[in-house]
Amino acid sequence: MSQTTERMHELVDRLNRYRQEYYNENAPSVSDAVYDHLYDELARLEAETGIILSSSPTQTVGYQVVGNLPTVKHDIPLLSLDKTKSLREVISFLKGKAALLMLKLDGLTIKLVYEGGKLTEASTRGDGDVGEVITHNVAAFCNVPMTIPYQKHLEVSGEGFIHKSTFERLKNTLVGSDGRPYRNARNLASGSIRSLDAAVCKEREISFFAFHVLKGLDEFPGLKNSRDGKLLCLMEYGFGICPFQMLDGNISEEFLQGQIESVQALADLFDIPIDGMVIRFEDLAYSESLGRTGHHYHDGIAFKFEDDVYETIFRSIEWQTGRSGEIAPVAVFDTVEIDGCEVSRASLHNLTFIKNLELYPGCRILVSKRNMIIPHVEENLDRGNYQDMIPQTCPCCGQPARTYSRAGDKGRIVETLHCDNPECGSRILQRFVHFAEKKAMNIKGLSEATLDQLIRLGALKSYQDLYHLDRYRKEIIALEGFGEKSYENLIASINESRNTTFVRFVVAMDIPLIGRTASRILDRHFHSSLRELRLAALDRFDFTCLEGIGDIMSSNLHKWFRKPDHLLLWGSLQNELHFENGLDAQTSGEENNMNETTNNTFAGCTIVATGKLENFTRDGINAKIISLGATPGSSVTKKTDYLICGEKAGSKLAKAEQLGVKILTEQEFLVMLSA
């Protein structure tokens, strides 16, 4: 910021402080002569520069009140950015190109439009395409230029926010529209910026920092493709800009961490609320070439310190009996939008979790998306009125529900609720649902609702019955939503599933903890022979000698095969099916066309994948590892050759670094595959 505009900001702040002392506190700290001298200096500088700040005492226009907030469509969508918590992913994203490391301000995104040097419109981001007009409130902000010397069309985006110390001072004297105190500075800023009365907004001391020039300034030499150049130009016009640091694209994780800490120190020093960092490319032409999705631009990435939390109202618990008999609690709450998705339900895990949160209907809760994927209830803001909402009976069959205890992390005891009735309708239905799933027998089009109809009809008592539904042809055709065509499609899909694989069959058997990854490991070791696997289990084979199979999984295999009804199912169901040779290649989309090979760098290696990957699901990456002739590991040990790291790598990354295991980003893994 030039010395002149910096002096103007200083004068505005001092004069407003003196006005507060004189008019509201009846305790002026300077004489009228001093005040007048500073006032005249400010007026002179405004005339010389053409810049008038929103909170300038030279402007005597009163604050407006509007009846509603009109909407406006954004010509350039104000979209968000993709997110990560991994320094490694940030470096991979940079691809060696220069970028700006900026504070991720915790407020409300605003767009300002200037014509002929005057602010003509201000609006909120809204949903990215349509926002609300809040022009009347901008005059009440602390530091937005109302006039600037630039006479052409200019559009600027930035963040309206409230300094942390201001929030601490105001939070106990203000309440939101629900009559409750504001929980954080972001909520207070959002409500204040969208206030209908600018005088109310003025009391909240909204600040504004610009972080991007949407349109304008292209005619100046060297600015057309320079992000930081345009921001520095805005400073000359009196804008406060978001603090940033230039990054060379070729940097280490250690250097990036140091730069983040340096910029974060600025936020602490100047009392700025943030919830992470933003990294955006310096070259605007390159940025534009990267395009966008409907949700976010590809030219930047947000580095998050922690998951965003959203306040909502807890309403009730839904209890769902699963195929194992565990009755799972699901929180039902008022809908909140997180990362563009409406969320109204989240798992409550177990009884211990519910009791620790002290939940009761009507309490305020904080909800997040853990790792930006899974909805999670983080906190109860209104503790102290816990109500026991645990049912005494199974919500499906009505049989008594029993509480079981098991050991949790760090010696904790975890309580879960169970239905022990093997004939419980929900348990039976969910077993059939699992059997028909894509990862198991892959019976396409066989929905949970259809399975429920077939069970109620009496057509399904065992898995084998699925392959003999022709016995109930007339009854099925007569079911609601069915007909000749629907019946024929269903039978065709079931018959198609007869052609299956070792892996699908083992997954369909629903042996506890034996999913697709473990099934593929067994497939390779036992040469796709179900007979060899059965004999090994009955002979107490030590499955833990296989990388990726642990003690509990090994014990579950032994227990499962010791039950006569399981052995009967294992043998009789095979008579309905036709088995392919080799590995399972008909899994999710990213796994298609993966052929096993030993002619690659990874053949014979043990590879562990951790964190959220962009191009693979968890089963997908394990399938890819197996297809390379390698073994997917579940934990990092001395035998691990490679660790593939995605977002939120956590303890596995630390263990790999400790053991000296070769660490790869997902991008590095893919590059090695194509080499």
Whose structure tokens read 């604050």?
A: 63
559 neighbors 651 (Cβ within 8 angstroms): no
Three-class DSSP category at 209 = strand
* 561: enclosing H helix or E strand: helix 551-561
C-alpha to C-alpha distance for 616 and 506, rounded to whole angstroms: 22
CB 662 within 8 A of CB 643: yes
Q: What long-range pairs does 381-386 form, CB within 8 A, spacing at least 24? A: 381/183, 381/311, 383/358, 384/358, 385/358, 385/360, 386/355, 386/358, 386/359, 386/360
Quick one: 84 exposed, middle or buried, by C-beta within 10 A (0-12, 13-18, 19+)? buried
Tokens of 560: 């499962």
End-to-end CA distance of the chain: 49
- How many residues belong to the chain? 675
- Residues 193/108, Cβ–Cβ less than 8 Å: yes
The DSSP result for 622-662, as a single string, is HHHHHHTT-EEESS--TT--EEEE-BS-THHHHHHHHHT-E
Could you say which of 83, 85, 104, 230 is catalytic? 104
At which residue do the structure tokens 């991720």 appear?
Answer: 104
- Sorted by sequence, the CB contacts under 8 Å of residue 80 that are 6+ apart come out as 128, 295, 296, 297, 302, 339, 340
Distance CA 413, CA 408 (A): 6
Answer for the pair 320, 330: CB distance below 8 angstroms, yes or no: yes
Q: Which two three-digit tokens encode residue 158?
A: 């930035």
Instruction: Please confirm, yes or no, whether 104 is among the known catalytic residues.
Output: yes
Token pair belonging to 372? 């930006």
Catalytic residues: 104
